[in-house]
Amino acid sequence: MDKPLHIAKEGAVMVLTMNQPPVNAFTHDLTQALQKALSQAGRDKTVRAVLLTANGRAFSAGQDLTELQAVEGESLRKHLQVTYNPLILQLRRLEKPVIAALHGAVAGAALGVALACDLRIAAEGTRFLVGFSGIALAPDSGVSLLLPLVMGFGRATEYAFTNKPFTAEEALAWGGVNRVVAPDALQQEALAWAQELAAGPLKALGLTKRAFNRAIMPHLESVLDYEAHIQDIAGKAPEHHEGVSAFLEKRPPKYI
């Protein structure tokens, strides 16, 4: 079986390529591989920037629902405490630039991962979906903080409640991504940007990131813990079971 994450070095840039095509759904193995790679990036003095990208037709469709069903009898809080919560904290605490190169779909937990990166570059045609309400869950993976912070409270509420997708061009206008490029230029443009940042004053960039974290999200860890708490509540509700069943059966859910 192929590894869920490919790790390569392009000069001073560590390139992390998610490799669970076609849609790179997050599994326990993938989140653990990402955590391990980010720890390695933090220790390796030759790594001065990180680029997160993906093979397949999508950056990521979010959590693998088949795997999620397997843990439904357990605590979703515990699931988040070993998967997305430490991953989001690593992305924010790594004092090196992290760029996400986005294409296809960016949904659910993958949206939280992308928003936790420092900068985002998206291919034309990329579609973003908050996703959680589609299976009757509340936002996790830092989305409850990062989405309103980046895109505004009213807009975040609308897209979290309605589960409507939004485009790369809309995300650019709203601050959700920094750049939009042609699909065939995504990898080249993202790597060039990461290499440009890697050549910069790394200590100053790391301190800038630390200052931003302190100024606008000093309570990120407690937010992630509360997300895990309310997700445990949502995950035990009949609505969630109906939402997942409807999604897997490709039918509209019946919540009433």
The pLDDT of residue 1: 52
- Dump the DSSP string for 115-167: HHSSEEEEETT-EEE--GGGGT----TTHHHHHHHHH-HHHHHHHHHH---EE
Residue 186 and residue 188: Cα distance in Å, rounded? Answer: 6
What is residue 256's predicted lDDT score, i.e. its pLDDT?
80
Domain 5-183 part of CATH 3.90.226.10: yes
What pLDDT score does 70 carry?
75
| CB burial readout 197-206, b (16+ within 10 A) else e | bbeeebeebb
pLDDT at residue 84 in the model? 98
Handedness of CA 244, 250, 254, 143 (dihedral sign): positive
Instruction: Answer for the pair 218, 211: CB distance below 8 angstroms, yes or no.
Output: no
Helix (H, G, I), strand (E, B), or coil: what is residue 106?
A: strand
pLDDT given at position 72: 60
The Cα diameter of the chain in Å comes to 56
Residue indicated by tokens 């869920």: 4
Residue type, 78: K
pLDDT tens track, the chain, 256 positions: 579 999 999 999 999 999 999 999 999 999 999 999 999 999 999 999 999 999 999 999 999 988 887 766 568 999 999 999 999 999 999 999 999 999 999 999 999 999 999 999 999 999 999 999 999 999 999 999 999 999 999 999 999 999 999 999 999 999 999 999 999 999 999 999 999 999 999 999 999 999 999 999 999 999 999 999 999 999 999 999 899 889 889 999 999 8
Taking the model in full, what pTM does it have?
Answer: 0.96
